[in-house]
Amino acid sequence: MTEEENVNGNSEESEKSQKKGAKYDNAAADLEKVTDYAEEKEISTQNVAGAISAIGDRRNKEALEKQAREKELLKVSIKKEDVDLIVKEMEITRILAERTLREHHGNVVKALIALTD
């Protein structure tokens, strides 16, 4: 083997090893991308779970507040005559008339004004 062939052979081998190294580097980079994606997916899943939990907590709180409001409204005493008057004059259901009257603490005038606005 001549020196030139020897140098060419070594350069070919070094090119092959560089290509192999680059190939492995690309594979490592691809693996890193997959790992990053999986980590991002886990993080986003945790964020979604946290958001869903927050929404559920908020809905529960609103439901409890609504129940408390309904209890307070049921405590307000209203007159049957006032309910009849509102039903007759406004041509609405008895349930709506009672609710509006309770929301205005039994005040017929305020209830009628609220219904006309």
Which residue is it, tokens 């081998």?
13
Question: How far is residue 98's CA from residue 73's CA, in Å, rounded to a whole number?
Answer: 10
For residues 85 and 57, membership in a common domain is answered with no
DSSP secondary structure letters along 28-53:
HHHHHHHHHHHHHHHHHHHHHHHHHH
Q: What is the pLDDT of residue 7?
A: 46
For residues 40 and 59, membership in a common domain is answered with yes
Q: For the CA atoms of 83, 86, 88, 91, what is the dihedral angle to 10 degrees?
A: -120
- Contact present, 110 and 104 (Cβ < 8 Å): yes
What six digits make up the tokens of 99?
């609710």
How would you write the pLDDT of the chain (117 residues) with one tens digit per residue?
554 444 445 555 555 555 555 555 666 666 666 566 655 666 667 777 888 888 999 999 999 999 998 898 888 889 999 999 999 989 999 999 999 999 999 999 999 999 998
What is the residue range of 89's domain?
76-117
Q: What is the pLDDT of residue 117?
A: 86
Domain count for the chain: 2
For residues 55 and 92, membership in a common domain is answered with no
| Reported pTM | 0.50
For residues 47 and 81, membership in a common domain is answered with no
Q: What is the pLDDT of residue 30?
A: 65
In the chain, what's the furthest Cα-to-Cα distance?
121
For residues 58 and 94, membership in a common domain is answered with no
Question: What number of other Cβ atoms are within 10 A of residue 92's Cβ?
Answer: 14
